Copies of this chain bind each other. A is one copy, B any other.
């Protein structure tokens, strides 16, 4: 399922790994601009996760979790620079100190609300994900593992922006509105 590839001869040159895509996220957001930047700023936007047939058995026992983590490939983001100006702050920041979609390994993660499991479909709420996004993994949200309500959050703690929606800044240049 996964494998390392080239560049084995130098320990400083990163290798790659591969993952299967297990499903797709359907959402009201056809383009990155206008998509909410986080579930907590998505005002209850609804979507549907479709899990592909080979992986259906893995969904057993998922109902009962109020939230789930979705891990997905940010397939519409540019690979971009290591310094980005995030949505919530005018200062360029190191990309690993932001949640910007343009990242060396563009894996997105969202704690969405799980409304219902219908066979291979999961009805979700709080969707900050572009329609058609390839799904990599689903994990249950477990407060004992995931919730640190008083954790200090660097520049986020002083960011004043109330922005809720993404704009064009992390799209590949020249692609404009094309899919």
Contact = CB atoms under 8 A, between A and B. Distances in A.
A146 B36 CA distance: 15
Nearest to A100: B139
Contacts of A137: 96, 103-105, 107
A109 B139 contact: yes
A26 interface: no
Contacts of A105: 1-2, 19-22, 71, 136-137
A17 B19 contact: yes
Interface string A68-83: 1101010100010011
A17 B134 contact: yes
Interface string A51-65: 111111111111111
Interface residues of A, number: 80
Query: Interface majority SS on A: helix, strand, loop or mixed?
Result: mixed
Contacts of A27: none
26 contacts: A2-B73, A2-B106, A5-B18, A12-B52, A13-B52, A14-B52, A15-B21, A17-B18, A17-B19, A21-B105, A22-B105, A55-B82, A57-B94, A58-B95, A58-B103, A61-B98, A63-B154, A64-B154, A65-B152, A65-B153, A69-B109, A96-B138, A99-B142, A105-B136, A140-B156, A144-B156
- A18, A61, A68, A107: which has the most chain B beta carbons within 10 Å? A61
Interface string A10-47: 00111111111111000000000000001110000000
Contacts of A79: 1
A61 B71 CA distance: 24
